[in-house]
Amino acid sequence: MKIGAAMFFTDYSMAPDELARALEERGFESLWAPEHSHIPLQRATPWPGGGDLPKMYYDVLDPFVTLTAAAVATTTLRLGTGICLVVQRDPIQTAKSVASLDRISGGRFLFGVGNGWNREEIENHGTAFETRHKLARERIEAMQAIWTQAKPEYHGEFVDFAPMMTWPKPVQKPHPPIIVGGAFPWGARRAIRYGNGWMPHRVRQHYADVAALIPQFRQMVGEAGRSLAELPVTIWGAKEDRDALLADRDLGVERVVVSLDAAKRDAILPELDRWAELARQAG
């Protein structure tokens, strides 16, 4: 089983190139960068984590910039958006950012996507909160066309463009894996419809533990006529416990992601050392 790590990169955290090198040296598989364009001061939407919204949400850097720095500093570490808010981004420009980062990294990019929880942030981008899920699907389908076709075009309710020419194309074929974040069952259904993996959050499942949901997810995959090999599970929020890692591994989870504080190296490196030792013990 693979182990990744995520950080809200800010001006008071470790730098992305520094963290990326530390992860690669310790055998981590991937680095994940989240996204928030801004946080409106007039906000009624509660944070899914409960309580006050942490400061790092207000301060986080752009994920494509930070992951580019991480890509240049490493050779094997995979680099993922965790998650990219596609409902707040133009699909033509985002498709170019994804393909460019996949090129710069030599085919190491993982396109983690999600549809967001912060209604006020989303609506500041001109997106209707109630229809954001359909908008996300159309934007992802449009990006898939851009990545795989010489003269792509797309015609939907929300996304519509005539044939165009746009390069570069990604290194990974047909395109970088689209790993869909979101709770069960809605996020799982979206992953099955247009994704290449499902990424639930361990501590935000309101109905059951993630482990109890994975068999149901696999049943849904089969009923949809898709292969389990096409839709591996990444669990966001790893438990710092050897038995928990072994349980995730035995359940067939492909990857767990450790959530790191937006902190400097003196706080982060000892934590990475503990995780590296746990990974060694879990085999």
Asked whether the beta carbons of 63 and 81 are under 8 A apart, the reply is yes
pLDDT values of the chain reduced to their tens digit, one per residue, 283 residues: 999 999 999 999 999 999 999 999 999 999 999 999 999 999 999 998 888 999 999 999 999 999 999 999 999 999 999 999 999 999 999 999 999 999 999 999 999 999 999 999 999 999 999 999 999 999 999 999 999 999 999 999 999 999 999 999 999 999 999 999 998 999 999 999 999 999 999 876 555 678 889 999 999 999 999 999 999 999 998 888 899 999 999 999 999 999 999 999 999 999 999 999 999 988 7
Q: Which domain holds residue 89?
A: 2-282
Say if residue 21 is exposed, middle or buried (CB neighbours under 10 Å; 0-12, 13-18, 19+).
Answer: middle
Asked whether the beta carbons of 27 and 273 are under 8 A apart, the reply is no
For CA atoms 52, 185, 109, 140, the dihedral sign is: negative
Structurally, the chain folds into a number of domains equal to 1
CA distances from 60 to 7, 54, 56, 74 (A): 9, 11, 6, 22
Q: Tell me phi and psi for residue 3, to 5 degrees.
A: -125, 125
Q: Where are the alpha helices (DSSP H) in 149-260?
A: 186-194, 210-223, 242-250
CATH assignment of the domain containing 135: 3.20.20.30
78-81 and 109-114 strand pairing: parallel
Asked whether the beta carbons of 282 and 249 are under 8 A apart, the reply is yes
